[in-house]
Structure 1
Amino acid sequence: MSDGHDARRDGRGRSGGPRRERSAGGDRRRGRERPPAPNKESLVGAEAELDLTDIAHGGRCVGRVEGQVVFVRHGIPGERVRAVVTKGREGDRFVFADAVEVLTPSEDRVEPRCPVAVPGGCGGCDFQHVTLPRQRHLKAQVVRTQLSRLAKIDRDLEVRPVPGDTDGLRWRTRVEFAVDEAGRAGLRPQRSHDVIPLADCPIATEGVVGTGVLDADWSGMRAVDVVAPSVGEPTLVPIPVEDDVVVEIDGVEAGEQCVVEHVDAAAWQGDFEVHARGFWQVHPGAAATFVDHVLGLLRPEPGERALDLYAGVGLFARAIVDAVGPDGAVLAIEGDERACVSLAALTPDVEQLEVRHGDVARELAPLVEGGDEVDLVVLDPPRTGAGADVVQALAALHPRAIAYVACDPAALARDIATAAGHGYELADVVAFDAFPMTHHVETIALLVPSA
């Protein structure tokens, strides 16, 4: 992947469940790579001067050498750089490279705050060398490009800041650090199993770094999670090299620990219990910001029926159930059993909220077959998106409004294109900079029945 700090956004809904395992800093989106074609000479280590013309999905800039596309990290569109190939062979449609020297710098180039946010360094931050306003401009450009390319929609949009960071730093409340053979915690370079020991991580909160995780000896561990929740003290979760080794902290098995998160949105407030290795938005201002925006888009009314899909611990479900009141109903569907148990335990007396553990597509099928209808839907799927089956099922339930919370603009665009084929159109789209210094961006779209 490109984000070297955490994997909680893959493989499931994104408000309370577990994540697909991976080592910090590695590529979490790709499966098994194709073997190289025979008789193609590797270009790794080759150098070239090139002009960077555009930004691509994933935080890399686009350049070309003799017609071959080069995706370049550590550059800015408009710069001329000397790049060194990090992956690719002769004849490939494209190769990957790092900008190791800037020949014509952009006026938006700044000195990275982290000494390892450089070529060959940590794979977590894509944009530490770019001013915050330009970072957000680049992210907006990526979202616009994906909507245009995959959904055939040309739409202007902005990437809004999220309150809670310090000039794009000190926002990450959850970090998975890798551990090297000497027991030192750190992060990985792009596409590497190496570990770079760290003295600090400038995008991690003071609470994360203040645990002393980067100074401790973690021998026998392959990774260590650090969680700095909004309520209570930070929690450390060591992950042993050997799967059959059990680590206990204060009498509780590591990974079974829970933390409390408080959401103080303008429109709704509440507390959530989240497993330490479960998912919660990593930016301290993200959960409240997204709740306010989703409620503003859906405008739930008393007595309405709603779905919260990939619900996690119920960030949106609990806010909507209060809005629809005792005469309304909310069905929350989530694939992680622990998150479902947590949500049900926090709302035992809320009869209008039903929590179902299961696959979203399978759980929707009987609703469609039974001719059910709903008024509102919010969905917060994994990075792969909801997919055609889920989108088709939602359209068959005839909601008046669908709020789609997406961490991947390409997956969002594909699902919007599918929705268009089933009678739903894009009415609103806004992006939020919930991951400053990285290429990641959270996008929230409103879909309504086509006129």
Structure 2
Amino acid sequence: MTSHSTSPHADQSTRHDATGTELIVDVGPIAHGGHFVARHEGRVIFVRHGIPGEKVRIRLTDSGESSRFWRADVVEVLDASTDRVPHFWKLADSPGSWRRGGPPVGGAELGHIALPRQRALKAEVLSEQLKRLAGLDLATEVEAVGNNDDGGLGWRTRASFAVTPKGRLGMHAHRSDTVVPVKDMPLALPGINELRLWELDLTGIARVEVAVPANGTRPLVLLAPEETTSPKRLHSILSQLPQDVSVASFDPAKGQVLQLRGRTWVQETAAGHEYRVTGEGFWQIHKDAPDTLVNAVTGYLSGGGYLQAGAAVADLYAGAGLFTAALADAVGVTGSVLSVEGAPGTSRDARKNLHGETQVEIVQGRVERVLHQRPRSFDSLVLDPPRAGAGKAVVKQLMASGPRAIAYVSCDPASFARDLGYFHQGGWKLEAVRAFDLYPHTHHLETVALLLPAN
């Protein structure tokens, strides 16, 4: 352990000021969600921006006498871990941000930790969730993805921004309405920063979404205008953006995307296929994620003989068809692929992306409803649900369809472990699992598992 700094108040365990309460605590183990567990007078506090074993001063950000637990940010490191490194992003560095008078931006909550330790901590979370929710005692590893020399930066092909009351590009602090002005996004591809959106007057815009495909094709900027924003104001913002950038307005509540200039979609490339992704349509945000996940899924299913020419397979929560295309390649024209996606716009993208693949049937609707209305048997399934997971009802339907194998792709360890518990109760087993660090410097990870019926 090495000492970072000591404040003149370091001899006080508790201090109150006009903006919050500060405490000195010892940081305990990591918990799901990017926090670390600390305790003060018997109270559990979920602390962000710490490392297990450190002694830190924290600032309470969410507290109350009746609360089961409190939340806090580290504002000063009194005894540092050897895994602590200088944060790569000034605006996301918690102690520095609070010294300047406000909270850090969200989205890089592990940036103060050396990358190998970040991955080890994520593996601890995955193992803990598997044990607690699925009853599986399993050591796990979180694999690095892409270029190991990039410091975990420059991987995001998509970024979401808020707008400050003064009309400047910003990002929210964690669990807060506070919008912090930003002038760079180090986790994003260079193409996003090269737009220099922070130089624009965005008055009248509530939110900005940016998609810059990793293949270098035309980027898309989505503007969510406030209700009172006039068309004249919208076009004034449009005129400030480079001519080679597509621009559209969108209504998050209605899911509508309206063309302002260029296309309302971007062209992505993965696993030998081209994909059209409209507006806010789902696409993996790490530049190397699509190929990484397709290779993991097809490796599991093909390697076990569950995915071959002539097979009947399904891609559930299929998005724009990333896995559907790979499945169609594997089963050939003598096989069949059912591709199910709930979002109408994304399902239309899948229909365009798979046009001409006669073995593919694209169905738009809720997975549980489609499986109920179209009962059939499958040789294997790919399951890639949203963060909330598939849920008990869908898991039962999947097991009832009688597949020989299921490849489960998950972005949330808790819902993944919960669903594994349902599979286990139904007589299925976890045959293999891989975890990938597709979100460096954040607490998120992606998991691909192979599930088989126990008999």
Q: Tell me how far 1:185 sits from its aligned partner.
A: 0.2
Q: Is the 8 A contact 2:218 2:267 kept in 1?
A: no
Q: 2:281 aligns with which of 278, 281, 289?
A: 278
With structure 1 as the length reference, what TM-score do the two structures score?
0.86
In the alignment, what sits opposite 1:20?
none
2:369 is aligned with 1:362: yes
For 1:194 and 1:290, the matched residues in 2 are separated by 35
The structure 2 residue matched to 1:379, chosen from 380, 383, 386, is: 383
TM-aligned CA deviation for residue 44 of structure 1: 7.9
1:238 maps to a residue whose letter is: L
Greater relative contact order: 1 or 2 (C-alpha under 8 angstroms, separation 6 or more)?
A: 1
Aligned residues of 1:317 and 1:332 also touching (Cα < 8 A): yes
Tell me, yes or no, if structure 1 residue 418 matches structure 2 residue 418.
no
Equivalent position to 1:348, from 355, 359, 370 = 355
Give runs of aligned pairs for residues 1-400 of structure 1, distance below 5 A. Answer: 45-119=20-94, 120-163=103-146, 166-231=150-215, 232-242=217-227, 253-255=248-250, 256=257, 257-263=264-270, 268-299=271-302, 300-368=307-375, 372-400=376-404
Say how many residue pairs are matched. Answer: 403
Paired amino acid for 1:155: L
Larger deviation, residues 270-279 vs 156-165: 156-165
Find the aligned partners of 1:125 and 1:382 in 2 and give their Cα distance.
Answer: 21
Q: Which amino acid aligns with 1:54?
A: P
Distance 1:185 1:412 in 2: 35
SS state at 1:341 partner: helix
**Structure 1 residue 438 displacement after superposition:** 0.6
Letter in 2 for 1:261: E
Greater Rg over alpha carbons, structure:
2
Q: Which range is displaced more, 78-87 or 128-137?
A: 78-87
User: Residue 424 and residue 244 in structure 1: after superposition, are their counterparts in 2 closer, same or farther (change >3 A)?
Assistant: farther
Q: Which residue of 1 aligns with 2:98?
A: none
- The answer on whether the counterparts of 1:164 and 1:285 sit within 8 Å (CA) in structure 2 is no
Partners of 1:122 and 1:170 in 2: how far apart?
A: 17
- Of the structure 1 ranges 351-360 and 217-226, higher mean CA displacement relative to structure 2 is found in 217-226
1:44 and 1:88 in contact (8 A); partners too: no
Amino acid at match of 1:122: V
- For residue 91 of structure 1, report the CA deviation from its aligned partner: 4.3
Quick one: which of 436, 439, 447 aligns to 1:443? 447
* 1:6-54, Cα deviation, whole Å (9 max, x unpaired): xxxxxxxxxxxxxxxxxxxxxxxxxxxxxxxxxxxxx982222211120
Q: Which has the higher helix share?
A: 2
CA distance in 2, matches of 1:397, 1:191: 41
Listed one character per residue, the Cα deviations across residues 94-146 of structure 1 (whole Å, up to 9, x for unaligned) are 11111111111000000101111123110111101000000000101001000
* TM-score for both structures, normalised by structure 2: 0.85
Stretches of 4+ moved more than 3 A in 1? 243-253
* Distance verdict in 2 for CA 1:348–1:173, change over 3 Å: closer
Q: Distance in 1 between matches of 2:227 and 2:68?
A: 40
What secondary structure is seen at the aligned counterpart in 2 of 1:46? Answer: strand
- Residue 102 of structure 1 aligns to a residue in which SS? strand
Among all aligned residue pairs of Structure 1 and Structure 2, give the percentage whose two residues are the same amino acid: 43
User: Alpha carbon RMSD of aligned pairs, Å?
Assistant: 1.9
Pick the aligned partner of 1:402 from 398, 406, 429. 406
